[in-house]
Amino acid sequence: MDRRLVLLLSAAVACSVANLYYIQPLLPMLRRDLHVSAGVAALATTVGQLGYVVGLALLLPLGDLVERRRLIVVLAIACAGSLLLTGVAPGLGVLLGAMSLVGLTSVVTQLVVPLAATLAPAHERGRVVGMVMSGLLIGILLARTVSGLLGGAAGWRVMFFVAAGAMTAVALALGRWLPASRAGVELSYPRLLASLVEIARTEPVLRRRAGFGALSMGAFSALWTSIAFLLAGAPYHYSAGRIGLFGLVGAAGALMATVAGRWADRGRTRVLTLVTACCILGGYAAIAFGARSLAALIAGIVVLDVGCQGMHITNQSEIYRLRPEMRTRLNSLYMTAYFLGGSAASGASAALYSAGGWSAVAALGLALGAASVLAALASAVWPGRGRPVVPAGAAAAGVVPQG
């Protein structure tokens, strides 16, 4: 696969996914500007993720029905408009509505990732997906750093104007260089959505990987939703710029993406699942001391990010092997579960921080990490890969189970 195209796809997902995370280091500034509590300010993160979930469930399946390049470009332009609305929002209500639209249209990311898997030859699919996902992870990391520095220098609104410009550039570049691509699924939109239920029922690998994804994204979101409040308060008293720099601490997660992709190509997903689950639990064991020790907090973030991103790549490598003709719908189901877990943990993290401080957030993360380890052990002992029974009408809807 042409490396220049891979780099373009990586840049596109980096810019698209960053839209969900620009707000996080800016929450203390937004809290002061709008005169709301930490829990209310954190709703900006939660509604963005919920909008993303809606987009994953309702818009992403269109990638198996319509021409993908056009769909991606239209959504990228709509995302740019939503970011502009966020930047000019006069109050909390408009801001939350705009952030939900940002999340809804940022599903561009999850249209590009399975498209990269489709365009890549089978023998290097894991490597290509790993490279594109590295771009995604770099986007997440740089989003916090750039927004923290830019917000501290020019105010939180400016960040969203810059992001709108970036998404406009993405739309133009993809419209120019992305190959036309359309799946051969001949279904109406209602039947396409109905087929999601059949796919979920007939793909045990997908269900298992969706569970792992929900737990890992929950652990990831629980940390990053509340860490800005921890760092802005005693004993740290950091500015938005310094808080944003913590996004770079998780750079090891981006490196883990390519490693996990190569291991997945070699069929070592079971070992990867257990190792990354242990990293999630071990990361929170250090993060629990973060209110008193900066070194423990940094070490825990590194280990947690390695675990969460490694788990995510492993999950996607598994589900992309199932049925190529329904790859976008498989990704829709997986990512919906993934961000539902993230949204739930994000809301819980903000509420727990307001009620019990950092120790309550760490307890949530430890519980999610322990659940991941137990699920990985259970999956290793009981793989459960038997071929399920095909429900009536499943073949007509383009749903054939994969053992």
Beta strands in 111-241 (DSSP E): none
Give the pLDDT score at 68.
87
Is 392 inside a domain boundary?
no
Give the pLDDT band of residue 403 (cuts 50, 70, 90): very low
Is 396 inside a domain boundary?
no
Q: What is the pLDDT of residues 84-125, one digit of tens each?
A: 999 999 888 899 999 999 999 999 988 888 788 778 877 777
149's enclosing H/E stretch is: helix 125-154
Distance CA 99, CA 107 (A): 13
pTM: 0.75
The answer on pLDDT for 399 being more than 50 is: no
The answer on pLDDT for 173 being more than 70 is: yes
Give the pLDDT score at 239.
86
257-292 in b/e burial notation, b at 16+ Cβ within 10 A?
A: bbebbebbbeeebeebbbbbbbbbbbbbbbbbbbbe
Give the pLDDT score at 374.
96
Distance CA 314, CA 266 (A): 11
Q: What is the pLDDT of residues 41-88, one digit of tens each?
A: 888 888 998 999 899 888 988 887 888 899 999 999 999 999 999 999
160's enclosing H/E stretch is: helix 156-177
Is 395 inside a domain boundary?
no
Distance CA 206, CA 83 (A): 33
3-class DSSP state of 400: coil
Mean predicted confidence (pLDDT) in 166-177 = 94
Range of the domain at 12: 3-381
Is 399 inside a domain boundary?
no
Is 390 inside a domain boundary?
no
- Number of structural domains in the chain: 1
Give the pLDDT score at 383.
66
Residue of 97, 95, 110, 149 lying closest to 17 (CA atoms): 110
Q: Taking the CA of residue 363 as centre, how many other CA atoms within 13 Å lie in the half-sphere pointing to its CB? A: 10
Q: What is the pLDDT of residues 302-352, one digit of tens each?
A: 899 889 988 988 888 888 778 777 777 888 899 889 989 988 998 899 889
Average pLDDT, the chain: 85
Residue of 318, 62, 270, 48 lying closest to 163 (CA atoms): 48
The answer on pLDDT for 168 being more than 80 is: yes
The answer on pLDDT for 392 being more than 50 is: no
DSSP 240-304: HHHHHHGGGGGHHHHHHHHHHHHHHHTT-HHHHHHHHHHHHHHHHHHHTTTTT-HHHHHHHHHHH
Is 130 inside a domain boundary?
yes
Mean predicted confidence (pLDDT) in 125-136 = 78
How many whole angstroms from its chain centre is CA 265? 22
3-class DSSP state of 97: helix
Give the pLDDT band of residue 388 (cuts 50, 70, 90): very low
Give the pLDDT score at 61.
84
Distance CA 247, CA 267 (A): 31
Is 159 inside a domain boundary?
yes
Q: Taking the CA of residue 372 as centre, how many other CA atoms within 13 Å lie in the half-sphere pointing to its CB? A: 39
Is 403 inside a domain boundary?
no
Contact 193, 62 (CB under 8 A): no
Distance CA 118, CA 97 (A): 34
Q: What is the CATH number of the domain that holds 132?
A: 1.20.1250.20
Mean predicted confidence (pLDDT) in 179-205 = 82
Residue of 227, 135, 119 lying closest to 183 (CA atoms): 119
